[in-house]
Every structure is written in structure tokens, then in C-alpha cells.
Structure 1
Amino acid sequence: MNSLKTTLLSSVITALLSTAMSTTAVASQTTVDTLSQQLKVNYQVIDNHAANHGVDCSSLGGDWGACNKATISLTNDGPAITDNNWAIYFSSIRMILAVETDQFTITHLTGDLHKIEPTEKFTAFPEKGTIEIPIIGEYWQLSESDVIPRWYVTSEGAKPKVINNTNTETLSDFVSPIGQQWQRTPDDHNVLMTPVTRFERNADVQKLSASTLRGQIIPTPTHITVGKTNITLDKTGVNLQLKSLNKASQAVLSKQFQQLGVKLSDKGYKIQASIDPTQFENTVSGAYLLNISDKQATITAYDESGIFYAVESILSLIPAGEKPTITTAEINDAPRFDYRGIMLDTGRNFKSKQAVLKLLDQMSHYKLNKFHFHLSDDEGWRIEIPDLPELTSVGGQRCHDLSEQSCLLPQLGSGPDSDNLGSGYFSRDDYIEIVKYAKDRFIEVIPEIDMPAHARAAIIAMEARYNRLMAEGKTEQANEFRLVDPTDTSNTTTVQFYDRRSYLNPCLDSSKRFVDKIITEIAKMHSEAGQPIAVWHFGGDEAKNIRLGNGYQDINAEEKVTWKGTIDQSKEDHPWAKSQACQALVAQGTVHDIEHLPSYFAIEVSKIIKDHGINNMQAWQDGVKYAENAQSFAVDQVRLNFWDTLYWGGFDSANDWANKGYQVIISNPDYVYFDFPYEINPKEHGYYWATRFNDERKIFSFAPNNLPQNAETSKDRDGNVFNAKGTKDWPGSYGLSAQLWSEIVRTDKQMEYMMYPRLLAVAERAWHQSDWETPYVKDREYKLGETQYVDQTTLLNDWTRFANLIGQRELAKLDLAGINYRLPIPGAKWVDGKLHANIAFPGLTIEYSLDKGKTWLTYSQDVTVNQQDQVMVRSRAADGKRTSRAEIVE
């Protein structure tokens, strides 16, 4: 009987607790739902020069003693909310150094993820009221895109919900205008881009006639002689006789003709090709001779890719949306660089397979031949690996799981759900399809699995695997691919604010087994796709603790400066410093010291790469900085993506790498990073740590084979001139690569906006060396406004031609391909009561509005308008379907 009473009592208590828990969960969910619907977030930058206005940024630990003031406003649109059982999670790419209110705390979790919680002094979100949270953040915030969307609210036992007005890519919905806070420092000499300043920038570029542009090809051939005859292809079409070219690539070219409205016909204009390497003095893959006569086009190529590129040149001549015509011409052409590349980061934010295939299409049009595929990073693992399902089921997904056993924590605006491109991966079949697609277009896919840093997604995934197998009692299997040393208690912080679980441990045999497994499986995919891996990209970048960098000083230092962050560096460690496995390697003399571990691991990985029959390795240059030279590695050749900023010494440090035997691929952030803004304007998205803008004209003017020359044609990050001199011998660049990192490129459309039309300028410089580019001369010094080695007239004429080709021809082709390229905003100003307007790419339609954007008129010539009216300007795409951002002419 007592047993029965006990059982009954236990059942009652359990039911009561369950009811209470259920009631609590319902109440929590109600709070979460209410907050997500009623709250509106507003983020306003108050002061980007806080250190100059009384804030002790140094004592707050701001890197380089820099910090900014901002205000987070939370407006309640409904009845008062008194519940304090909630937390708001949000992404901030700036570390929050201080919160200047006692009602809330802000806690940094990992990476950019932060959490706002109420304190005991929080009373309520008042009805129809606003609460402000003044904060101090590190560095500065100069662009709307520094503020990340999809803030979300949650509570214990409740499903997280995104706050409605932050669930957007239109950042102005919750970010106040940056206004006058666009300058990095008070000494920032950059020019803010407005209609007036754009007008001045565009003023020297005139519209060219169609006859002037006749016969022009992008990228520009080495030698071309344009004939007098035009050949129309609308009636007969073309007869492709390309037997020396593989059938898959023939099919690619056939489809491209059809997309331009040119049919294929046995009776059409004949395009005939053959391969004859003896016709070429040098061994240059992709070289070709092309004779376009009245009767037929004849191609003699060095190899198959030469045939493909020759036909692409013919296709380049055909306009989109008009009667298909080409001009007679004689062309002798060959690529400038063997490596003409695009790097796409799919780790930070995923990109769809379709977006990748569209990119490969455009790369083929413009003769780019290397696709550097960044497949992993801290924020995501993006390729399926057989037998390691957690890599994609956990490492390829982001969601609100604080334990990170089912997914990675949200980062970079992905919010609490996995229904956006914060999550995703390429299946094995997807990847094989992509490699095949690239191969048919003579594009080599170079996979990158970043290590030993930027490896958090892999590490968390392998920890989830470890926990699963240990729970199953499979200890040996659990440890097979574990990437962390459980003895490692190192206190480290990465550039993106992750802890030690961002660094794969280079001292573990299990890490090497992991690398071997990944290379094995990806190599199988390449073999199945018919393009065996020729180059493996190791990654290697940023394996350091940022808090031990030059921007910080120790709190106990005898002499301190205000322009460094003051922290207790005695608590900071280099990565792996407290790993017993790594300490043992140092004690044995296997590696010189802890700081040399990244380069040691690069050498070890090179042995694995070589064992797989891959003879070339690629890396970011800082990943191999402690290796003696390129001969330290097991592979035959090591290529480096060189990403030093030029004005910080990169104009000369590139020589060091080349003279150590590395093949240097020019990848400088201050010229060819596509994740940077197009122009200096807070509305333009992008990071800007290396430069405030990379537009098409700047990229076009870049001299990748004489880096010091660029000091004569561009300025540094703050708009100041700099001098540059190469003090060592320079054997020459191996190639040119543009990079699109995707921290704040969250969608496929944003990817295309950042890629195009800048990709065309990179293709031009990678394929063609222009007459205004000067040869490298050791100890020759360059400086804008002082030296005159660059023929500025030739450069201007070359850019004018190129800009007109983009505006009058190429953008229409991007329209046809459905590319969401960036449309430039017109320049405009008042002259004697008339509206004068121009545009970066002559030929694009300029529009203006006199009624705040309700109706738009086409601008043709200087327009007489009442200057007292508010006039807005914008540009329209060639197909009329899209417009640029509109701005008021002041």
C-alpha cells in the first residue's frame, strides 16, 4: 500500500512539474513571439572618432586604441512588456567594448555572435516607448553593411524568433544613415562619392562612337588588325567545324552562339579550327591565331584551350539584343598569365550550385581559367565527405543550438534558422557536376580546405562525431579524426573573435589522418569528373592570436601609448601554446617553437599531397612564412596567393616570396578584393580594412607585374599618396586572382552585385598587358604627383575604350545571362541652372526625377531644370529591367 501511495504521489508531482514546465514554456514562447513582433531595432553610429572625443579606447582594449560610439534603440510598438526572461542575439563584426547603461548587459559568445540580456534594473519595454542602449565598439563603422541583419530573441524552452524589422537585406530598415561619420579618422583624405564628386571622377571619360568601338574584344588581344567588312550572322548562322576541340566544349560554344541569337547551320558562316603548336614561338597554353575573313574564320591554336578562346573572341564581337554581326580581323593572341583566377568563399556564407555555374559561364566568356573554391572556414563546411557525415550535418548548418551538437551557432546574420545561405553544402554529385562544368570551359577547379586556422566548422563537427562515437563505446573510432588536443587550454582569439577551437591542432596524428581523408575523397570526385586535382590549396592564413599583435600593449608595460589597446597579455597565448602534443614537438626539436607550427604543418601536409600524386600546393603566403623556401616542401611547386597590402610594404615584400622560389599569384586586397565597396559611400556594402574602394577603373589601372608602379596611379586606404620602390630582383608574377570573401555577402544576388562588372577588369589585366604598364626596375621609386613613369594619356584612352565597351556592349550581355551586376550611380551637378550628368560607363541610360522618384525622365543632354526642385538621378540597365540606387543632386 505504501508503495502504491508513493507511486501515486510521484505521478502527481511529475504531472504538476510537467504542467508547470509546459506553462513556463508557453509563457516564454509568448514573450518571444511578442518581442519579435512588437520590438523594432534601430542602430545608429554616433561617433567614429571616439578616442578624439574623450573616450579612453586604449583602456577599453580597443585594437590600435580605436573605438566608436553607437546606440541600439529598441522601440516597443505595442503594449508594455515587463517580462525579463529573454535574450536578444545579434551579430556584430565589431567587438563590443562597453555598454553605457545599467539596464542591459551585452556578452560576446563566439565569432560575431553577441547576446543582450536585461539586468535586475530593467523594468519594462514601455508601451509605445523606446529604450536606448549606448555602446562602445572596437574600430569604426563606416558603412551600413557593418551592421548585420536578423537579430533574434529567445527564452529558455522557447523557439527563437527573428525580430521582424531586422529580417531584411535592406539594411536601412533598421540602420540609421551613417551621415558625416563616414571618415575613418579626422585625417581621412578620401572623397565621399556623391553625384557631384562622381561627376568629377567621370568627367574625363567621353562616350565613343560605335565605329570607334568596332572590332574591339574583351579581354584585349595581344595584336589585332580590324578589317573593313562587317559580317551579318542573323540569316545563315554559323557552321562550327571544331573537330580538334572536345565535344563537351563544342557544345558550350554552340549554346553561347544560340544565346546571342545566332543559329547553328551547315550553310552558315564557317568557323574552322586546327591545332598546330609549331606555329607559336613560345609554349603558351591558350594561344591562338584567328583570321576572320569575308568567307570564313580560320583558327590555328596552340592547344584545345586556344581554340576555345579564339571562338570566345568571335563571340565577344557579337552584340546582345541587336542584329548579330562580327567584323573581319586578324588576331594573334596569347594570355599574359597562366593563372587567371577567381576565388569564391562559400564557407562564411554558402552559395548555391546554380550561382557557381553562372560564375563559371562568365569566367569562360572572359578567358579566366582558375576557379579557387574556398570550401571551408570557421563558419561553415561546404562539401560532403563520405564516412564523415557530421562535417555537413553539423559543420554545414547554423542554428540556435548553444551546445553546437546539431549545428554551428548563428554567425554573420544567418539568424536562428537553417533556411538561408548561412547553411548549406555541395553534395558529392553537386561538386562533381561543378568540376565537369568547369572542365568543359577550360577552367581548373582548385579546392581549398583552410587549415590550420579558420577550421572551426570542421573542429566542431569532428567533436560532435567524437561525442557520438564515445557514447557508442567506440573510443578508437572517436579519436580517429579528432582535431583538438583535450589538454590544450590556450587562451587565444582569432581575427574573427573565435577561441582556440578555431585552430586545427597541427601536432596530432589524427589531424593528419583527417587531411589525408579529405584529400582522398575530394581527389576521387575530381577523377570522376575527368579533371584530376593538379593543385591542392592548403589555406594557412591567420593562424595567430590577434591580441598578441602590434595593436595591443600589456597592462603592466612601463611605457604605454594611447594608440594601442591595453590588455593583460600575460593571459594571452599563441595558438596551441598549452597543447601537450605541441609542447612535445618543440621539446623534441621537431619544430623550432610554437609560432612555427603553421608552417611546419604546411610542410607535413605537402607530404600528404605528394603521396596523392598531386605535385602542386597553393597557400596564402602567411601560412608558409617560417619555411625556409619553396624547396622545403615535398611537392614540386608551391604557389602563393600574395595578399599583403601594397601601401603597407607589399610592393616590395612580394619580391621576397618570388626570390624564395614560390610562384606568386597577385591577390592584393587593396586592388582585387571583391568584398570591398565599389566606391566611398556608406550605402555601398563591403569590408574596407585594406582600402575604401575597389572600382572597375582602379582595378583596370592596376599593374600586377610591377607593383611599385601602382603608387603612381592610386592612393592608400586614407586617400593619401604613398611612395613605393622595389629593392630586390623581381622574376615576375605567376598570375592574378580576384577574391570574393563572403562574410557580408549573404545571397546569390549580392554575390553577383559584388562580382560584376569588376570581374571584367580583372580578366583584362590577367589576359592583356597594356602599353601604359611599365617594366619592373629595381630601386625605381614611384609616387603619385611626383614621378611620371606611367603614360597617363595612354592609360586614360585605354580606360575610356574599356568603359565604353562595358557600357555599350558588355552589360547587355550580362543582362542576357540574368546577372545581377552593379549599376553605377550617375554623376550630376548644376551648371548655370542646367543639370549636367555623366556616368562611369558611357552608353548606359541616365534618368532623372523631379517628383522624389515618382516618375523618371531620360536624360539626354544638359537639361534646364529649376534648381530649387529636388532632382534625383539614377541609371537604368540596358534591358530596362533594373535601375541603380537613386541619389539627390545637391
Structure 2
Amino acid sequence: MPGTGLVSLVPRAREVQEADGPPFVWDTDTALVAEPAAHGVARWLRGHTVLPFREGDGVAGAGAGTTVELRIDDGLDAEGYRLDVTPTRVLIEGGDAAGIFWGAQTLRQLLPPAAFRRAGRPGREWHVPCCHIEDAPRFGWRGMMLDVARHFTPKDGVLRLLDQLAAHKLNVFHFHLTDDQGWRMDIRRYPQLTGAGAWRPRTRVGHRASPLWDERRHGGYYTQDDLREIVAYAAERHITVVPEIELPGHSQAAIAAYPDLGSTDVVDTAALGVWTDWGVSPHLLAPTDDVLRFYEHVLDEVLDVFPSPYIHIGGDETPKEEWRASAVAQARIAQEGLRDEDALQAWMVRHFDRWLAARGRRLVGWDEILDGGTLEGPGLTPGAVVSSWRGTDGGAAAAEAGHDVVMCPEHELYLDRRQAPGPDEPVPLGRVATLRDVYAFSPVPQRLAAAGRGERVLGIQANMWTECAESTQRVDYQVFPRLAALAEVAWSGSGGSYDDFVERLVGAHLPRLDAAGVEYRPLDGPRPWQQRPGIPGRPLD
């Protein structure tokens, strides 16, 4: 039937060929055989799927049953895989362990949706159609960002999301850990960052123009052991966790915890609390040596917890009024020979760019890190990466300047935005970004492709901001199924047939999400309990 079997893959595969013969029968007599390099994938298959395996030593040919075999083939691309199914054997070969893992995800999609449940029916056998599949990703950065600063997501919710990223062959989890409304990472040297900065007394309900408030205290944070667990869980699924520690803006929670971080000569920073509202706080970090050392100490602990080669420092949305009024900021501008406050921000970003590069890491920042120019000194290091959120022009400019880019433009790939026009969408925010809009996004701007600079686009990323998504259910609704569309563009490239994608989505992939317990938005609109009447969004209706 349409949408099942070999035509049901999401994201679509590069090459799929049906083969003759009866199906492979997967039952309790099926053995799992893995080369040493694939032992991690074998452990995941045994521990995190409902698929049965015969108890034994995992040696091919032992016993009379069928086998699932995992191997490395150095001739395949990184993250690429080859999947061959015959009546007696499933063979997954990958260019590396990640490729084998993505092949295992494809194998799971060849099974009924029940394979996505956490437990199966005892004694059940599964049938896999004979086939040959060869596949590899179009982009190396296939990501999603989750904001846990505005509304905290407990650890189990993060682990659950990582499972869904893996099921969609996404390999980057951008973890937005700090903002004006909360600081979510335990920093042992500075305990007040979570002692005070992780908690706010109340929270606005809806968009910042809403008159509604939740008067309950909100907060939470991750211990470093929690974060190490998240990193390890992601690594087992071949997902890189990229932490984000915001500076110099979006820092009110940090200033509330340690007032000397702010512009004390302009504002009574000791009176500031963790921000209870949405939008952009006017309070920036002071450009002092003490603040630089403070954040170096913070990043020392970040680097110890997160092995990612990429560390995101934000760098966006920095209103400069305090710096203009601050004698301390103006003295720094004069001392460094800078042109203005925009150049001061660029100076601060460059400091941490070089600090990270000296430790073998690459700075990532929103496209404002290009603002301020480089007239006052050297620019960013070649390894700095730009997250292009204000459209794609900033990313194109960064690529033309020799920097790698992750495309995540707000109008297409911000998943907090409304999914359809009309009054039924819960807390409608900003411009409509439909499932079709996400699927139609082309990551490489024509001007880069024409200039031969398309390789500077590392990939794409969806961003989920949580001002108006206070629960896992609300995040599910906003993220799915649009994340499946992003995953297909990231893995398979743009230009696919939207109608074919929707057929696969409805025929097979939404039932997989149902089996996994994902509370996605139905294509024909929200279910009654997913609506939120009376909670205003932007613009107000």
C-alpha cells in the first residue's frame, strides 16, 4: 500500500531497489553480529528497540536462525551506509559507525510502526522486505536547537527528544542553556548562576503583549552529571551536543546572580532579578577584564562537560544603550581604539573566538557576530561558524568572508512560529511557517552556489524557542511534523516532491510518531486539547 514498505522512508534514501525472494523473518532466533567498531550500534539495537535477538555469542553462522550483521566499509562516505536484506541476512555496512547507525534507523523504518514503541508483544516476529539501499547525507550539520532557558525541559524530556532526532537522522543538538529568563547549567565555581539565576518568580503567559501571568515560581537546571549523561546518550546516537552560553546580551539571569557582571555605573544591577518577561533585555555584560575572566572560567567548565568541537556563544540582540551611557564601556572603546559600541561587541566576540580556538574548539554565533566590522583589528578566526537566523543573507556574507555557515532562517525554520493561519493555532507567533514552507527551503543560496562557495554551508537547523511552549506537549506540537520535513532537506537535499513526502508522512511516518508517543500537529489542524483559546500571540488578533 502507498506510504509503507520501501517507499515509506523519511528522510528519503538516495537509492532503493526491491529484490526478489521471501522476506527476512526477524524473531527470537535472529542473531546480531557486529564488528568491534559497530559494538555501540549493536548495544543500541539490543537496548533501545523492541526487536528480538537470539541470546548467544553473536558469531555469524552460529545456530540455524537469521542474522543481522553490522560492518564497516571504508569505501563508503562518512555517515553513508549500505543496507542489503536477503531472506536469511540483513547486512548494514557503513563508512563509519555513524553510517551503520543511520542504516539501523532505516532498517527500523522498514518494519511496522509498532517497532517504534518502547516494548513489544512477546513472541512477535517481524518481516523485512528484501532490498538494497545505498544512502548518505547531503549535509554534515543536520540540527535542532532547543531553548531550555525560557521554559525548562527536565532531563528525561531532553533524552526523549534525542531519540526523535536520531530517528530522523539528525546529528546536532544545539542546547540553548542560558538567557535572560534562566541559567540552566551548574557552574561549580559560580554556584549562584543556578542558585539564583535558574529561578524566576513568575512568567508571562503568551506573547509579551499578553496581560496574563503565571504567578508560580519557574526554574530548574542540569547538574554537570546530568549534562554528561545527556552528552553520552547523544553520542551513542551519533549526535553532537553543541552548548550555548549567551554573551554579551541575553545575560540578565547571570547579572541577577552576580550583579558585578553588569554595568554597575549605569544601573543598580543588585536590584535586577531573573527576567520574567519575553523579548530582549536591555542589560548587557560589562566589557571589563573581570567579566572576561568570569566567562572564561564558565567556559572552562563547559569545555570539560561538552566534548563538541563547536561552542555557541550567542552574540545576538544586544541593545547598546547601557554601553553608550557607561563610562566603563566608553573607556574600553577608547582603550582598544574602537569605532563605537558595535565594534565593542565585535571586540568581545573576537576575544572568546580566540580563547576557544586556542583550546581546539570553534566558536559559533548568531549572524550578529559579523556586525561591527573588522577595521579596529583582525577579524574572527577562520574556524568561527555563523548561525544565519535573520534570513540567509548573513550566512551568504559569512561564507563569502571564508566562514562556515549553518542556515536557520527565522521565517522558514523557527518552529515556534505558527503553522497555519486562522484562530485555531495555539499562541500564534509571527509569520506562518507551514510544513510545505519548511520542505521547500533551499539551504544553499544561489549566489553561493554560483560562486562555488556552497561547500561553506555546513547544513541546516531548526530552532525551537520556548517562550510560549511551557511543556513537552507544546514542544511536540510545534516541532512535529515540521522536523521531519527539515530532516529530509538536511539529509536528502532540497528539490524533492512535496506530494511524495506528504504521502510517506501520512501513510507511514505519522503512525511511527504515534507509536513513539509524539503529540504532533495533525496536518488538518490542532486537536481540541492542543488549542489554547484566550492566550494571545503575535500579532494580537
Larger Rg: 1
Please name the residue that 2:207 is paired with.
none
Residues 504-541 of structure 1 show CA distances to partners (whole Å, capped at 9, x for unaligned) of: 12x21111112111111122223xxxxx2311101001
Q: Secondary structure at the match of 2:363?
A: strand
Instruction: Confirm or deny: 8 A CA contact 2:405 2:458 kept in the other structure.
Output: yes
Q: Which has the higher contact order (CA 8 A, sep 6+)?
A: 2
Question: Normalization by structure 2: what TM-score?
Answer: 0.85
> Aligned pair 1:366/2:141, yes or no?
no
The 3 A distance-change label for structure 1 pair 883 and 457 is: closer
The 3 A distance-change label for structure 1 pair 435 and 349 is: same
Instruction: Confirm or deny: 8 A CA contact 2:426 2:531 kept in the other structure.
Output: no
Paired with 2:363 and 2:532, the residues of 1 have a C-alpha distance of 46
Paired with 1:263 and 1:817, the residues of 2 have a C-alpha distance of 21
For the aligned residues, what is the CA RMSD?
3.2
> Aligned pair 1:656/2:389, yes or no?
no
Please name the residue that 1:431 is paired with.
227
Which of 387, 406, 427 aligns to 1:641? It is 387
Please name the residue that 1:503 is paired with.
284
Please name the residue that 1:672 is paired with.
413
Q: Secondary structure at the match of 1:214?
A: helix
The 3 A distance-change label for structure 1 pair 632 and 213 is: farther
Please name the residue that 2:454 is paired with.
731
The 3 A distance-change label for structure 1 pair 232 and 413 is: farther
Instruction: Confirm or deny: 8 A CA contact 2:3 2:505 kept in the other structure.
Output: no
The 3 A distance-change label for structure 1 pair 321 and 441 is: closer
Instruction: Confirm or deny: 8 A CA contact 2:186 2:194 kept in the other structure.
Output: yes
Which of 244, 250, 264 aligns to 1:486? It is 264
Instruction: Confirm or deny: 8 A CA contact 1:398 1:414 kept in the other structure.
Output: no
Paired with 2:36 and 2:102, the residues of 1 have a C-alpha distance of 13
Q: Give 1:640 shift.
A: 1.0
Q: Give 1:428 shift.
A: 1.7
Alignment of 1:63-142 (within 5 A): none
Which of 139, 146, 169 aligns to 1:337? It is 139
Instruction: Confirm or deny: 8 A CA contact 2:278 2:467 kept in the other structure.
Output: no
Instruction: Confirm or deny: 8 A CA contact 2:313 2:365 kept in the other structure.
Output: yes
Please name the residue that 1:683 is paired with.
424
Residues 328-348 of structure 1 show CA distances to partners (whole Å, capped at 9, x for unaligned) of: 222221111010000000111
Q: Which amino acid aligns with 1:819?
A: V
Paired with 1:754 and 1:237, the residues of 2 have a C-alpha distance of 41
Paired with 1:416 and 1:883, the residues of 2 have a C-alpha distance of 23
Paired with 2:450 and 2:99, the residues of 1 have a C-alpha distance of 37
> Aligned pair 1:299/2:23, yes or no?
no
Instruction: Confirm or deny: 8 A CA contact 1:640 1:662 kept in the other structure.
Output: yes
> Aligned pair 1:447/2:243, yes or no?
yes
Instruction: Confirm or deny: 8 A CA contact 1:825 1:884 kept in the other structure.
Output: no
Paired with 2:8 and 2:176, the residues of 1 have a C-alpha distance of 34
Q: Give 1:818 shift.
A: 1.8
Q: Secondary structure at the match of 1:453?
A: coil
Q: Where in structure 2 are there 5+ consecutive unaligned residues?
A: 57-63, 116-124, 204-209, 270-274, 534-541
Please name the residue that 1:621 is paired with.
367
Instruction: Confirm or deny: 8 A CA contact 1:438 1:445 kept in the other structure.
Output: yes
Q: Give 1:311 shift.
A: 1.2
Residues 676-700 of structure 1 show CA distances to partners (whole Å, capped at 9, x for unaligned) of: 11111222135543x2x22222211
Q: Secondary structure at the match of 2:19?
A: strand
Instruction: Confirm or deny: 8 A CA contact 1:234 1:324 kept in the other structure.
Output: yes
Please name the residue that 2:122 is paired with.
none
Please name the residue that 2:110 is paired with.
317
Which of 186, 192, 200 aligns to 1:398? It is 200
Q: Which amino acid aligns with 1:508?
A: T
Which of 432, 441, 446 aligns to 1:702? It is 441
Paired with 2:341 and 2:65, the residues of 1 have a C-alpha distance of 67
Residues 34-60 of structure 1 show CA distances to partners (whole Å, capped at 9, x for unaligned) of: xxxxxxxxxxxxxxxxxxxxxxxxxxx
Instruction: Confirm or deny: 8 A CA contact 1:215 1:317 kept in the other structure.
Output: no
Report which of the two has the higher share of helix: 2
Please name the residue that 2:17 is paired with.
225
> Aligned pair 1:257/2:32, yes or no?
no
The 3 A distance-change label for structure 1 pair 726 and 242 is: closer
Instruction: Confirm or deny: 8 A CA contact 1:215 1:329 kept in the other structure.
Output: no
Instruction: Confirm or deny: 8 A CA contact 2:23 2:127 kept in the other structure.
Output: yes
> Aligned pair 1:807/2:506, yes or no?
yes
The 3 A distance-change label for structure 1 pair 285 and 633 is: farther
Which of 368, 384, 388 aligns to 2:186? It is 384
The 3 A distance-change label for structure 1 pair 535 and 653 is: closer
Paired with 1:396 and 1:803, the residues of 2 have a C-alpha distance of 41
Please name the residue that 1:328 is paired with.
130
The 3 A distance-change label for structure 1 pair 764 and 696 is: same
> Aligned pair 1:758/2:482, yes or no?
yes
Q: Give 1:360 shift.
A: 0.3
Q: Where in structure 1 are there 5+ consecutive unaligned residues?
A: 1-208, 402-410, 464-481, 527-531, 546-573, 709-724, 774-794, 827-873, 876-881
Q: Secondary structure at the match of 1:536?
A: strand
Residues 559-609 of structure 1 show CA distances to partners (whole Å, capped at 9, x for unaligned) of: xxxxxxxxxxxxxxx341122222112223432212212211110111221
Instruction: Confirm or deny: 8 A CA contact 2:113 2:512 kept in the other structure.
Output: yes
Instruction: Confirm or deny: 8 A CA contact 1:213 1:801 kept in the other structure.
Output: no
Q: Give 1:223 shift.
A: 1.8
| Identity in percent | 26
Instruction: Confirm or deny: 8 A CA contact 2:395 2:406 kept in the other structure.
Output: no
Please name the residue that 1:415 is paired with.
214
Paired with 1:701 and 1:246, the residues of 2 have a C-alpha distance of 35
The 3 A distance-change label for structure 1 pair 754 and 498 is: closer
Q: Secondary structure at the match of 2:106?
A: helix
Instruction: Confirm or deny: 8 A CA contact 1:696 1:758 kept in the other structure.
Output: yes
Q: Give 1:228 shift.
A: 3.8
Paired with 2:65 and 2:173, the residues of 1 have a C-alpha distance of 34
Paired with 1:589 and 1:320, the residues of 2 have a C-alpha distance of 61
Q: Secondary structure at the match of 1:684?
A: coil
Q: Which amino acid aligns with 1:597?
A: L
Q: Give 1:304 shift.
A: 1.0
Q: Give 1:251 shift.
A: 2.0
Which of 514, 535, 543 aligns to 2:294? It is 514
Question: Normalization by structure 1: what TM-score?
Answer: 0.53
Instruction: Confirm or deny: 8 A CA contact 2:3 2:506 kept in the other structure.
Output: no
Please name the residue that 2:340 is paired with.
593
Instruction: Confirm or deny: 8 A CA contact 1:607 1:633 kept in the other structure.
Output: no
Paired with 1:640 and 1:729, the residues of 2 have a C-alpha distance of 18
Instruction: Confirm or deny: 8 A CA contact 2:146 2:175 kept in the other structure.
Output: yes
The 3 A distance-change label for structure 1 pair 211 and 811 is: closer
Q: Give 1:320 shift.
A: 1.8
> Aligned pair 1:740/2:532, yes or no?
no
Q: Which amino acid aligns with 1:520?
A: D
Instruction: Confirm or deny: 8 A CA contact 1:677 1:694 kept in the other structure.
Output: yes
The 3 A distance-change label for structure 1 pair 624 and 268 is: farther
Q: Give 1:729 shift.
A: 6.1
User: Across the two proteins, how many residue pairs are aligned to each other?
Assistant: 503
Q: Which amino acid aligns with 2:94?
A: A
Which of 576, 581, 587 aligns to 2:323? It is 576
Instruction: Confirm or deny: 8 A CA contact 1:275 1:303 kept in the other structure.
Output: yes
The 3 A distance-change label for structure 1 pair 483 and 217 is: same
Please name the residue that 1:49 is paired with.
none
The 3 A distance-change label for structure 1 pair 821 and 617 is: same
Paired with 1:230 and 1:598, the residues of 2 have a C-alpha distance of 65
The 3 A distance-change label for structure 1 pair 513 and 289 is: same
Paired with 2:30 and 2:180, the residues of 1 have a C-alpha distance of 49
Paired with 1:635 and 1:238, the residues of 2 have a C-alpha distance of 52
Q: Give 1:752 shift.
A: 1.2
